[in-house]
Structure 1
Amino acid sequence: MKRIHVVAAVIRGLDGRILIARRADTQHQGGLWEFPGGKVEAGESVEAALARELNEELGIRVTRSRPLIKVSHDYPDKHVLLEVREVDAFEGEPHGAEGQPLAWVAPRDLAQYDFPQANRPIVAAARLPDQYLITPDELEVPQLLKGIQKAVAGGLRLIQLRAPDMYDPKYRDVAVDAVGLCAGKAQLMLKGPLEWLGDFPAAGWHLTAAQLRKYAPKGRPFPTDRWLAASCHNAEELALAQQMGVDFVTLSPVQATQTHPDAAPLGWEEAQRLIAACPLPVYLLGGVGPGEREQAWQAGAQGVAGIRAFWPAA
């Protein structure tokens, strides 16, 4: 069966809300909500197809867009390649030019709408920021909490509490404080035994590669209303993350790092190849910082993750 090439847009308004449209009942996956877009014609670039489709469907002219995510999905009756771009600047007032209902939705509320199955990673990508802070180890607790507070105040919206040198009860105490600092402002991702899941309902969970290998065959350990992520380093681990139904992954190391000097870096070319085969939002990690964000987008990544490059200066 031939794969249909489709372009779609995550259109962001000035207030951060995202525009979605409802498919006509007569269409494939009719009655469900979608991100506006349509088929890429033969010989047409993705950007040209996006501009044409959004003009026809919504009556707007795109003035700025960037790659967000690519998703291949096989329905029983149709195989699609969805190439998604984020549009954050356009001219005109969007309206349902083909009679389709539209809605401007806060990113956190997207999960309440019914989308086609292929759109699940796109919904995750639309809700996630483009930077993921991982806390440094070897910090005293007051210093660690102060840094998290500063990072949240500076606009970082996704933070992993990584403290491999802490013993379990101490990590749990710090996690309680970190949850409070992030409440309503940033999504906190915790690490640790899955037995702790019930104690931190507001937090997401970031699995180590070892946990991924152990638990992936058992499936997702909690419902989709909580974020689940995993650390990946190769194609096998990315496949396990998909099997488990995680929401996003980190892929590392892209370049040599101080933290893991012995790990062989993937390099940008191999990272791009791995991302192309993975229908999940991917944060590139290892020797990258905010300055590599644009390069990460062009490689197909959600954005960049890191420790030192993202940690606020004292």
Structure 2
Amino acid sequence: MELRQLKYFLVLAEELHFHRAADKLFIVQPALSKQIKLLEEELGISLLKRDKRNVKLTEAGKYFKTEAKAILDQLELVKSHTRLVQEGQKGEIRIGYVGSCIHTFLPDMLSDLHEAHPYILTYLNEMTSSAQLEAIQNGELDIAFLRNPFPSPNLNHQPVFRESFALVLPENHPLNENNLEDIHQLANEEFILPTRSDGELYYRLQLSICEDHGFSPKIAHETVHGHTVLNLVGHGLGITFLPTSFQKVTNAAVKFIELKDIPQRAEITAVWNKENPNPSLKKFLNHIKPLKI
């Protein structure tokens, strides 16, 4: 069965007149009659009742008309979508991110993408930085938003967001914005910090906040999940440093003191494989604004 036979049949089913249908198809009437006959022979049924004066659809012909039209409509949709995929207008992007992205810059970025390319689907997965890097290398993610990755020759890196750190204390802790004069006042505290295995540079960055003020932190607990850290702090199990934006999204019994005067900043970097052929990724990258230094 050929697609042109379906097209010929649909025109004839609308016109119910061989001569008019042939004219509409820009073919001669015998050629149209031959193709309809071949179609009926392949199906083993009569699609049309015809005599010298009239052409009518059989019951089977009426059913076949409906289904043939659906097939051709679907084919046109596939053709259209295929062009969109080739151009990056339709497709999917698999995105990994650390928790703070979703309450800072990422929703706006996704909104901009959807407005410009409504047929691109995004699949979001909150992951640790180390898991994202592995997924990028394995081709399981198209792009990752993570903290302080080591440069890699086969990956592109683009810093996209930067914010201050905050000291996070239990709600009833005696230190507050008024009496915290120096980070060294925290030298005897127990800290909850990220694991070294999830990101050496981010781990060192947090250590350096203390080291710049003359002491190494006493680490009581390690976890990479911000909301877990907040609950541990709220239960008096230690103190921590977190990106200041976490203050907007927690109900834990904690207080934040923004550390505006230290040089350390919490930074998110977009990472993707240089060889990734996904055309939709290229569209998404156009919506990533370079971070101003």
Does the alignment reach a TM-score above 0.5? no
TM-score normalised by structure 2 residue count: 0.22
Indicate the structure (1 or 2) with the bigger Cα radius of gyration. Answer: 2
Structure number having the greater helix percentage: 2
Per chain length, whose mean CA-contact separation is higher, i.e. which structure has more relative contact order (CA < 8 Å, sep 6+)?
2
